Copies of this chain bind each other. A is one copy, B any other.
Amino acid sequence: MHSPHKWRHRFRANVSRWTVPREIILDFLSRTSKHMSAKEIYASLYRMYPGIGLTTVYRTLDLLVRIGLINKLTFGDGPSRYEFKSEKKNEHHHHLLCTKCGRIIDYNDFMGEELKLTKKTEETLAKKYNFKVQDHNIEFYGLCEKCQ
């Protein structure tokens, strides 16, 4: 299923070496759908690979974001969270955040409408402010099932 060196060429292309810590971090992220903080990732990996350092986790996450294999999510307070970026085009999604318990829900409804709106907005902003849009983010805040 998971060929061990699936992503090796992506590293090579970025003048980066293929190392054990990088492989296990990326493999770990590719197998979970959770949105985890650096510390949580570190704690999870530490059991199987006690030699790993938190610093390396931070550096690797940073590299993976630069390469474009994962997303970094920063929701207001608290630590940044990371999620694996799926190859599948139709898995583009946004987040629903519970303001009480911090729960994060992925949703991908209305992506068609959203795309229409963002495309239109991007064009207008480009003209009006001479701003070159690279990416966008949409999130909803509220109360999840358990918290209301």
CB distance from A127 to the nearest CB of B (A): 10
Decide if the interface of chain A is mainly helix, strand, loop or mixed. Answer: mixed
**A125 with B107: CB separation less than 8 A:** yes
Residues of B within 8 A of A128 (CB): 107, 109
**A110 with B99: CB separation less than 8 A:** no
**B144 with A129: CB separation less than 8 A:** yes
- Copies of this chain, how many? 2
Q: Is A3 an interface residue (CB 8 A)?
A: no
Which of A72, A118, A120, A121: most chain B CB closer than 10 A? Answer: A121
Q: Is A114 an interface residue (CB 8 A)?
A: yes
Chain A residues with a Cβ closer than 8 Å to the other chain, count: 41
CB distance from A133 to the nearest CB of B (A): 4
With A76-B74, A109-B124 already in contact, the answer to whether A141 and B132 are too (CB < 8 A) is: no
- Which residues does A use to contact B, with CB under 8 Å? 72, 74-77, 80, 96, 98-99, 105, 107, 109-110, 113-114, 117-118, 120-122, 124-125, 128-145, 148
